[in-house]
A and B are shown apart, each in its own frame.
Chain A
């Protein structure tokens, strides 16, 4: 079982522990194509990608959003995730090493419920932002120490 972050102890502005992924591989793009059904050749065929004006294949944006989703459910239990938004800002290529970080932006308590909103970003090894996003988690205050 994953050790989640204790949001109850965090303050606005605090950072979440970054999640760094293994380098993106071409095989991974093929796997994601199979899983999602996105067979646009710009993700799997270098010649087709070059014909489309790219340097070579690029990752599916939703794969990188999947990395961010992985980080979020590392930080918080899946069942507490209420909202997740991603803005796609740059393309990802094989070899890129994506790190997902996050920062607590809002925190509120209503009754027995803790709600936090966090900003999150997926960056490559050069610091280029691929996804800029936001998510909201809501959880009961009392069970926080158990999760």
Chain B
């Protein structure tokens, strides 16, 4: 089970480079044909200096692709097979473009035990701050992870 004493804990940072090809892979998997994500000219028509990241792109950085998420769960003592994703929230502070280097810092914001119809669960809220190579905050992500007990 999630260790309540880890509330407030800050996890080791991960550095993630925004790769053009990963943006393309993601929009192709989603089936999102919006040209702004792959065509700089189309992006320019919407006021972008380059192709922007689609709204859920950042999940690649702090979840599976970098392994950040797995390290977080391991630190918290939550077995992967008991994890359900409850909620995901992004707050977009600045535009992010290919080749940018993002630093992710995750804090365990809250751990709460909840009794539900399907049994006891731990609700873990993780907050991740993304900053760019200039030290500016570009995105705040909040994930509600549910551990079935």
Taking Cβ atoms with an 8 Å cutoff, the residues of A that contact B are 1-2, 21-22, 28, 31-32, 34-40, 52, 61-63, 65-67, 69-70, 72-74, 77-79, 81-88, 147
Contacts and interface: CB of A to CB of B under 8 A. Distances in A.
B36 A70 contact: no
Given A77-B47, A86-B87, A32 B54 contact: no
B84 to A, nearest CB: 8
Contact of B32 (A38, A70, A85, A147): A70
Which residue, of A1, A21, A22, has the highest number of chain B Cβ atoms within 10 A? A1
Contacts of A85: 87-90
A63 B60 CA distance: 11
B42 interface: yes
A36 B29 CA distance: 9
B-side interface size class = 35 or more
Interface stretch (B4-12, B20-28, B102-110, B125-133): B20-28
Contact of B86 (A22, A38, A72, A87): A87
5 nearest A-B pairs in the assembled complex, by CB-CB distance: A69-B55, A37-B64, A37-B65, A35-B25, A66-B30
Nearest to B86: A88
**Which of A40, A70, A81 gathers the greatest number of chain B CB atoms within 10 Å?**
A70
Contact of B52 (A32, A34, A67, A78): A78
10 contacts: A38-B64, A52-B81, A66-B55, A73-B34, A73-B54, A77-B46, A77-B47, A79-B47, A81-B92, A82-B92
B29 A28 contact: yes
Contacts of A78: 34, 36, 46, 48, 52, 54-55
Nearest to B52: A78
A34 B30 CA distance: 12
Given A36-B60, A36-B63, A65-B56, A83 B34 contact: no
Contact of A35 (B22, B36, B67): B22
Nearest to A62: B59
Given A78-B52, A79-B47, A82-B91, A36 B65 contact: yes
B86 A79 contact: no
